[in-house]
Amino acid sequence: MMTVLEVRNLQKSFGTIHAVKDISFSVHAGEVFTIIGPNGAGKTTTLEMIEGLVTPDKGEIHFGELNWNQHAGTIKKMIGVQPQSSAMFDLLTPEENLNLFATFYNNPRSTEEILNLVNLTDHRKNQVKKLSGGQRQRLAIGLAMISDPEIIFLDEPTTGLDPQARRNIWDIILELKKLGKTTILTTHYMEEAEKLSDRLCIVDQGLVVTLDSPSALIERVTSEREVRLSFLDGESAALDAQNFAQNLDSITRTEREESALTLWTIKPEDSLYDLFKFTKDKEYQIEQVSVHEMSLEDVFISFTGKEWRD
Q: What is the binding site for ligand ATP (CB under 6 A)?
A: 14, 17, 19, 37, 39-45, 188
Q: How far is the CB of 134 from ligand ATP (least distance, A)?
A: 19
If the CB atoms of residues 41 and 128 are measured against ligand ATP, the closer one turns out to be 41
- 30, 177 in Cβ contact below 8 A? yes
Q: Report the C-alpha gap between 161 and 132 in whole angstroms.
A: 9
In the complex, the smallest distance separating the C-beta of residue 9 from ligand ATP, rounded to whole angstroms, is 17
**CA dist., res. 264 & res. 245, Å (int):** 10
> Which CB atom, from 7 or from 263, has the smaller least distance to ligand ATP?
7
* Least spacing, CB of residue 203 vs ligand ATP, in Å: 7
Residue (30 or 37) nearer to ligand ATP, CB? 37
Is the Cβ–Cβ distance between 257 and 242 less than 8 Å? no
CA atoms within 13 A on the CB side of 207: 4
Measured from the CB atom, the residue of 84 and 103 that comes closer to ligand ATP is 84
Which is nearer to ligand ATP, 13 or 295 (by Cβ)? 13
The count of other CB atoms within 10 Å of the CB of residue 70 is 10
Closest distance between ligand ATP and the C-beta of residue 48, in Å?
8
Backbone phi and psi for residue 30, each to the nearest 5 degrees, phi listed first = 85, 0
Residue 88 beta carbon to ligand ATP: minimum distance, rounded to whole angstroms: 20
Quick one: CA dihedral 215, 218, 223, 228, positive or negative? negative
Helices and strands: H and E segment counts in the chain: 11, 13
